[in-house]
Homo-oligomer: A and B are copies of this chain.
Amino acid sequence: MSTEQKATNITWHEGHITRADRERLNGHRGAVVWFTGLSGSGKSTIARALEEALFERGVRSYVLDGDNIRHGLNKNLGFSPEDRQENIRRIGEVAKLFADAGLVAITAFISPYRADRDQARAINGDDFIEVYVACALEVCESRDPKGLYQKARAGQIPEFTGISAPYEPPLNPELVVDSAALSVPEAVNRVLSLLEERRVIPSAG
């Protein structure tokens, strides 16, 4: 690269592809849909159903959940308070990268602490859409799809959210979906409507 090409460098850097370019190509905006709620509340189910509904509209999204985060990026983190905080911090930062890439990042983690979610909100600014999947502990415990509540009650899982560790409900989430009252498609429609209102995605019309 000669002196001329260095000048070119500057041009490349100044003129490089922006988030707005990517959003134009995709036909929708980037955003972060942050689901929070107890184990068994339905976060993952609703997140996957939202992904499918967005896909059917041609909207690019990506779900970050325990499966792809805890075994990969965050596999060096445990469940101490510091590690839980760092877990959520990294997820917030990765979600930001996806939103910047022009995708709708969908996160499905219990994320029980208000301070941690607020940090993810601070990282993501106006892109952050907190969806509280509200569900009574009794209902979540009766579902217990992975048998975790049973183990927690038996003392086999220390610091299990809702049993032996706190869950701090959001004070001002962008949306609350009551998974005991709404079907999965109904919950998804509430999120889609909010994404339309906020002009993240075009109206279905």
Contact = CB atoms under 8 A, between A and B. Distances in A.
Counting chain B CB atoms within 10 Å of each CB, the highest count among A1, A51, A183 belongs to A1
Contact of A90 (B12, B73, B103, B143): B73
Contact of A12 (B49, B58, B73): B49
Chain A at the B interface: mostly helix, strand, loop or mixed? helix
A42 interface: yes
5 contacts: A1-B179, A12-B45, A12-B49, A26-B60, A73-B90
Contacts of A42: 1, 9
Given A22-B55, A62-B101, A98-B101, 19 more contacts: A6-B143, A9-B42, A12-B49, A16-B63, A17-B52, A17-B55, A21-B55, A22-B60, A25-B55, A26-B60, A60-B60, A60-B101, A72-B93, A72-B97, A73-B90, A73-B94, A73-B97, A94-B94, A101-B103
Nearest to A188: B12
Interface residues of A, number: 49
Interface string A84-106: 00100010011011101111000
Counting every copy of the chain, the complex holds 2
A44 B12 CA distance: 10
A166 to B, nearest CB: 24
A15 B9 CA distance: 45
A25 B58 contact: yes
